[in-house]
């Protein structure tokens, strides 16, 4: 794929408008959920990750840090670009970022339709199914342990 780039951006970044459209089209429109203008994008501890392809925002995930754990939310890729590794790249970078931040655990609520996507990437299901969010579709909680490097003595 030509010119693909992963980037952590600020809530104030103008590309967050593209992110909002992407989230609506991928996560909510397919379920007939009305468009929502409130995304809570500036809550404390939030980190926004985008992947661009030829400059266009094509995938997104966010990490919300609270204490020593981080919740991953709103993982999505443009339908036309699925199956090309963008989702895997987003999740790899999210976990790496959580590791860099020194977190001990990453977790998420996964739609059961994508549970296997996460499982292949090292995520472990830790709950039964429950309806969740604005779509109300079945979800499971999944976790990814993080192994932070102990500080080297004398360094």
Interface residues with ligand COA (CB under 6 A) are: 26-27, 75-77, 82-88, 110-111, 113-114, 116-117, 120
Would you say 126 or 148 has its CB closer to ligand COA? 126
Kindly provide the b/e burial profile for residues 46-62, where b requires at least 16 CB atoms within 10 angstroms of the residue's own CB.
Answer: bbbbbbbbeeebbbbbb
Q: Smallest distance from the beta carbon of 118 to ligand COA, in angstroms?
A: 8
Q: Smallest distance from the beta carbon of 154 to ligand COA, in angstroms?
A: 41
Rg, C-alpha atoms of the chain: 16
Within 8 A by CB and 6+ apart from 107, the residues are: 69, 70, 71, 72, 126, 141, 142, 143, 144
Q: Smallest distance from the beta carbon of 29 to ligand COA, in angstroms?
A: 11
Would you say 127 or 148 has its CB closer to ligand COA? 127
Q: Smallest distance from the beta carbon of 139 to ligand COA, in angstroms?
A: 7
C-alpha 62/C-alpha 19 separation (Å) is 11
């Amino acid at each position: 794929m030509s010119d693909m780039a992963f980037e952590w951006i600020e809530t104030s970044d103008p590309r967050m408008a593209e992110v909002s459209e992407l989230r609506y089209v991928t996560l909510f429109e397919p379920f007939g959920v009305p468009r929502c203008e409130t995304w809570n994008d500036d809550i404390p501890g939030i980190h926004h990750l985008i992947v661009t392809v030829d400059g266009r925002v094509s995938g997104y995930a966010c990490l919300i840090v609270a204490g020593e754990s981080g919740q991953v939310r709103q993982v999505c890729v443009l339908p036309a670009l699925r199956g090309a590794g963008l989702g895997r790249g987003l999740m790899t970078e999210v976990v790496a970022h959580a590791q860099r931040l020194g977190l001990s655990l990453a977790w998420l609520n996964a739609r059961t339709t994508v549970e296997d996507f996460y499982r292949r990437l090292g995520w472990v299901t830790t709950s039964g199914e429950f309806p969740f969010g604005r779509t109300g579709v079945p979800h499971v909680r999944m976790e990814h342990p993080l192994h932070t490097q102990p500080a080297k003595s004398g360094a």
